[in-house]
């Protein structure tokens, strides 16, 4: 049992950085609004951002 716990703990520590590093794309839509997404748009040219040089946060407004 102890080995099993150690195995899973090691797996989580090993895989965590790979899961945390996501690709972020930046593009401008037809209205001139800058957009960010984890997937590039099909109909527009997007720039892949370097995850080490930028930080991205998201905001979701509350619904009334």
Residues 6+ apart with CB under 8 A from 44: 27, 28, 29
Is residue 30, in this structure, part of any structural domain at all?
yes
Nearest to 26, CA basis, from 50, 1, 48:
48
- pLDDT attached to residue 12: 65
Is residue 59, in this structure, part of any structural domain at all?
yes
Containing structural domain, residue 46: 22-64
Specify the pTM.
Answer: 0.50
Is residue 8, in this structure, part of any structural domain at all?
no
The count of structural domains within the chain is 1
Rounded CA-CA distance 22/6 in Å is 27
| Structural contact between residues 25 and 37, judged by C-beta atoms closer than 8 angstroms | yes
What sign for the dihedral angle of Cα 27, 30, 34, 39?
negative
Q: What would the pLDDT profile of 31-45 be if each residue is shown by its tens digit? A: 999 998 888 888 889
Q: Is the per-residue pLDDT at 63 higher than 70?
A: yes
Region 46-50 average pLDDT: 88
Is residue 3, in this structure, part of any structural domain at all?
no
Is residue 1, in this structure, part of any structural domain at all?
no
- pLDDT attached to residue 32: 92
């Amino acid at each position: 049992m102890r080995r099993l716990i150690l195995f899973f703990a090691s797996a989580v520590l090993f895989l965590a950085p790979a899961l945390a590093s996501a690709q972020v794309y930046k593009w401008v839509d037809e209205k001139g609004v800058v957009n960010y997404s984890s997937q590039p748009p099909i109909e527009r040219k997007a720039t892949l951002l370097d995850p080490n040089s930028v930080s991205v946060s998201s905001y979701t407004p509350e619904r009334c």
